[in-house]
Amino acid sequence: MSNAYRNNFLREVTANVEEGEWVKMCMQCGVCSGSCPLGPHWEHPPQEIFMMIRAGKREEVLKSNSMWYCTSCYNCIARCPRGLPITHIMHGLAHYAKRLGMVPQNQQTAKFAQKFWDNLTKKGRVNELTLGLSLYFMNGFGEGVKTSLKMQGVGLGMLKTQRMDPLEILGGHGCKDVAGLQAALKKARQIEEAKAVKV
Amino acid sequence: MTEVVATNQTILVVGGGISGMTAALEAAECGKDVILIEKNPSLGGRVAQLYKYFPKMCYPTCGMEINLRRIKANRRLRVITLAEVAGVTGEAGNYTVNLTIAPRYVNENCTACGACGQAVETAFADEYNYGLKQRKGAYLPYAMAYPQRYVLDPRIVGTPEAEKAKAACQYHAIDLNMMAEKVQLTVGAIIWATGWQPFDANKIQPYAYDRNPNVITSVEFERMMEPFGPTGGKILRPSDQKEAKNIAFIQCAGSRDRNYLKHCSRMCCTATLKQTTYVREKYGDAGKSSVYYIDIRAIDRFEDLYQKVKKDPNVTFIKSKVASVTLEKGTGNPVLNGVNTEGYHRYSNPHDLVVLAIGMQPSVDFAKLGIPLTLNESGFIEADPKNGGMFAAGTAADAMDVNRAVQHATASALRAIQVINKVAGVVEA
Ligand SMILES: Cc1cc2nc3c(=O)[nH]c(=O)nc-3n(C[C@H](O)[C@H](O)[C@H](O)COP(=O)(O)OP(=O)(O)OC[C@H]3O[C@@H](n4cnc5c(N)ncnc54)[C@H](O)[C@@H]3O)c2cc1C
Ligand code: SF4
Ligand code: SF4
């Protein structure tokens, strides 16, 4: 068979993207795109993304901001007549694009996801105080101060009801075996990368 | 007491729709003894509930009349209405069948004069019209019902209403002492022609059938067109009884969907194409049909109808599985929301009325009834030698149109005849 007829990108997605083997099951009915509450804001709604994958549009898909808009509302999964785990495929695509370094510059969801991950893996627990603050200052110092002031009331309320410990700013508590956790994550990444099909 | 003579050379046909009538007639006209049972008070099945039927767009009454004439003329065919199968044991050439027969409370003296119906006041949802209108507690199921005999609704029996009906009948046709009966038959072969039922539209939550009165099903739409039907042949919106001229059809309502029915119901595309011609018939150029579809599956020669409808400038095709139906405040208009996959255009389109092209599913749960038949994953009867002397006819086997159902039923009659011929020693076992 001529290479022109091989859809390498579909095979790449099937092999490397979480739940990617489902993409070929889509029958292009459009109910996912019509059901997505954020649909009007995406570059390409899910059904279009699936068609683009099958059409071999690798760059357009992986560099698109679309899958980053998914809020995990699960409307699409609930309605898909073919039972595609669309939400999970969206996250799988986002994760894969990130691994390949193809995320659009300044993608807000991607930035937040990175902050969350870094915060979590540092000590094995999410430090809500530092995560919250880093989120406020994600887009620069000025905006950070403004947001902090706006959120002051909430913060004080949480302090009063002991929902937040101000000492967490000093690093906070972690899980029992932080080094062990980090070793496990490193190993997991190695396995994942070794498995990945190079195209 | 119902007298039924049956032997292991008798063929039992279950279900008196077009498939059951055809199978029973074909077998009886070949000289076999046939018993045809129907759970409703009349023969006819769901074809009798259509306004017109494709491909020729004739009225079902016409085909019905021919079949009734054949039934009346055949002495080998015995029809029992209000009867259902409670259980089956045995094997090809020797089945024992238990029937339950519900009381009609009206005997052969009935001339269908209608005096009882006039005397009774209590009314119930009319099954023949899918509940779109009420019928009296003493009623004729529909104009062409066979047998042409009234029925008393069991819910009025034991009330003064039943006594009123009895007093009104000058032919002594009303017998309030009739009881439910259990009858055991021996038969050689069984044809299951129990047909289909519409999928429960309430389950398709995003389409608001349970919340918006202006969302109806395709089977209800057929009844609206009927000149003597619930709306006198007008397409009226249930919410305000205004004439609906801008009508949306949603395809695959319940079909091809793992959340509901997995199979394609095969008939609903052509049924919708037919129904767009109803809209034109009613309003000419003032009527508008919009068909929302995944793909149009007008099988083989129905393609002609598709091509014809496509040429109608008043019919629009939108390639999209509708995501949801919402309500437009103030107008009661249903609004269809989704994405047109040809160009990825987002839409929110208001319409006067929405017709759900509802899916077809088997009318009987054979597994639950404990009848040893091989079923496919949708519950339709498979053609399997393990079924022995039991055969499916028509839509008990799969969703199909009348033409195919009649062919299928004829084939099943032939198979049943072969079983009987072995019993009779006409052919070697
Ligand atoms: C909206 C719509 C429009 C359609 N329009 C057309 C059309 O224009 N042209 C066309 O060719 N086809 C059309 N069809 C398809 C058509 O309705 C079927 O092909 C036809 O009804 C099949 O007939 P049947 O005898 O197999 O089943 P049914 O019509 O369902 O008859 C089955 C009979 O069995 C009886 N029964 C059920 N269970 C039992 C039991 N346990 N014991 C005894 N009796 C029982 C029922 O009461 C019924 O009388 C349409 C379908 C839909 C959904
Ligand atoms: S709902 Fe499912 S089948 Fe339909 S377009 Fe979306 S993914 Fe494909
Ligand atoms: S016949 Fe058409 S409307 Fe019906 S299930 Fe099949 S594709 Fe859908």
- Output the domain CATH number for residue A20: 1.10.1060
Contact of B326 with chain A, judged by CB distance below 8 Å, is answered with no
Q: Is B177 on the interface with A (CB under 8 A)?
A: no
Looking at residue A1, its pLDDT comes to: 47
- Interface mutation vs chain B, best among A25, A26, A27, A29, most B CBs within 10 Å: A29
Q: Which atom of ligand 1 is nearest to the CA of B196?
A: 30
Same domain, A163 and A86: no
Residues A113 and A179 both lie in one domain: yes
pTM: 0.93
Q: Please tell me the total count of domains within chain A.
A: 2
Reported ipTM: the value is 0.88
Q: Are strands B196-198 and B324-327 parallel, antiparallel or unpaired?
A: unpaired
What was the pLDDT predicted at A133?
Answer: 87
Predicted pLDDT at A159: 87
Mean pLDDT of B102-130: 97
Q: Which of A34-38, B25-29, B34-38, B403-407 has the lowest mean pLDDT?
A: A34-38
The reply to whether ligand 2 has any atom less than 6 angstroms from the CB of A82 is yes
> Which residues are CB-neighbours of A187 under 8 A, at least 6 positions away?
none
Q: Which residues pair with B99 in a beta bridge?
A: B85, B183
Quote the percentage of chain B above a pLDDT of 90: 95
* Chain A residues whose beta carbon lies within 8 Å of the beta carbon of residue B337: 34
Domain ranges of chain B: 10-102+180-195+363-424, 115-168, 199-359
Distance B356 CA to ligand 3 centre (A): 11
Question: Are domains B10-102+180-195+363-424 and B199-359 of this chain identical in fold?
Answer: yes
The yes-or-no verdict on residue B310 having pLDDT over 80 is yes
**Beta carbons of A30 and B252 less than 8 Å apart:** no
B75 or A171: which leads in pLDDT: B75
Q: With an 8 Å Cβ cutoff, are A79 and B259 in contact?
A: yes
Residue A34 pLDDT grade (very low, low, confident, very high; cuts 50, 70, 90): very high
**pLDDT score for A3:** 58
- Quick check: bond before B230 cis, omega within 30? no
Write down the CATH number for the domain with range B199-359.
3.50.50.60
3-state secondary structure B215-229: EEEHHHHHHHHCCCC
Q: What is the pLDDT of residue B428?
A: 66
Average pLDDT taken over every residue of chain B: 96
Q: Is B364 in the pocket of ligand 1 (CB under 6 A)?
A: yes
pLDDT band of residue A193 (cuts 50, 70, 90) is: confident
Residue with token string 């006594």:
B163
Does one domain contain both A51 and A83? yes
Q: Are B36 and B74 in contact (CB under 8 A)?
A: no
Q: Does B194 touch chain A (CB under 8 A)?
A: no
The whole-number pLDDT of residue B308 equals 97
Are residue A35 and residue A20 in the same domain, yes or no? yes
* Residue tagged 């390409």 (tokens): A44
Instruction: Kindly report, residue by residue over B42-100, the tens digit of the pLDDT.
Output: 999 999 999 999 999 999 988 899 999 999 999 999 999 999 999 999 999 999 999 99
CA B274 to ligand 3 center in whole angstroms: 14
Q: Name the residue range of residue A97's domain.
A: 3-105
> Ranked by mean pLDDT, which of A131-145, A148-162, B97-111 comes out on top?
B97-111
B208-256: pLDDT as tens digits: 999 999 999 999 999 999 999 999 999 999 999 999 999 999 999 999 9
pLDDT at B427 over 80: no
A30 and A8 in a common domain:
yes
A86 Cβ inside 6 Å of ligand 2: yes
Last residue of a domain, one of A83, A105, A127: A105
Question: Rounded to whole angstroms, how far apart are CA atoms B134 and B279?
Answer: 25
Of the given ranges (A170-179, B22-31, B289-298), which has the lowest mean pLDDT? A170-179
A183's CB contacts (< 8 A; 6+ apart) are none
Residues A100 and A129 in one domain: no
User: Are residues A139 and A160 both part of a single domain?
Assistant: yes
Of A60, A80, A105, the position where a domain reaches its end is A105
Q: Decide yes or no: CATH 3.40.50.620 for domain B10-102+180-195+363-424.
A: no
Q: Does B205 touch chain A (CB under 8 A)?
A: no
Q: Does A30 touch chain B (CB under 8 A)?
A: yes
B263-277 residue pLDDT tens:
999 999 999 999 999
User: Per-residue pLDDT tens for B154-198?
Assistant: 999 999 999 999 999 999 999 999 999 999 999 999 999 999 999
Of B188, B166, B169, nearest to B178 (Cα)? B166
Is residue A199 one of the residues assigned to a domain? no
On whether both A66 and A130 belong to a single domain, the answer is: no
A129 and A54 part of one domain: no
Contact (CB, 8 A) for B77 and B36 = yes
Quick one: pLDDT at residue B429? 58
Q: What is the pLDDT of residues A80-103, one digit of tens each?
A: 999 999 999 999 999 999 999 999
The reported pLDDT for the residue numbered A44 is: 92
Distance from the CA of B255 to the center of ligand 3, in angstroms?
Answer: 7
Lowest-confidence range among A1-10, A136-145, A188-197? Answer: A1-10
Does one domain contain both A55 and A117? no
Distance CA B387, CA B369 (A): 15
Structure tokens at A2: 């001529």
Q: Are residues A18 and A83 in the same domain?
A: yes
pLDDT number for residue A169: 83
CA-nearest residue to B347 within chain A is A34
- The bound ligand whose nearest atom lies closest to the alpha carbon of A46 is 2
- Partners of residue B346 in chain A, C-beta under 8 Å: 34, 39-40
Domain final residue, candidates A45, A76, A105: A105
In a shared domain, residues A55 and A120: no
pLDDT > 60? residue B374: yes
Flag whether pLDDT at A151 surpasses 50: yes
Q: Closest residue of A to B258, CA-based?
A: A81
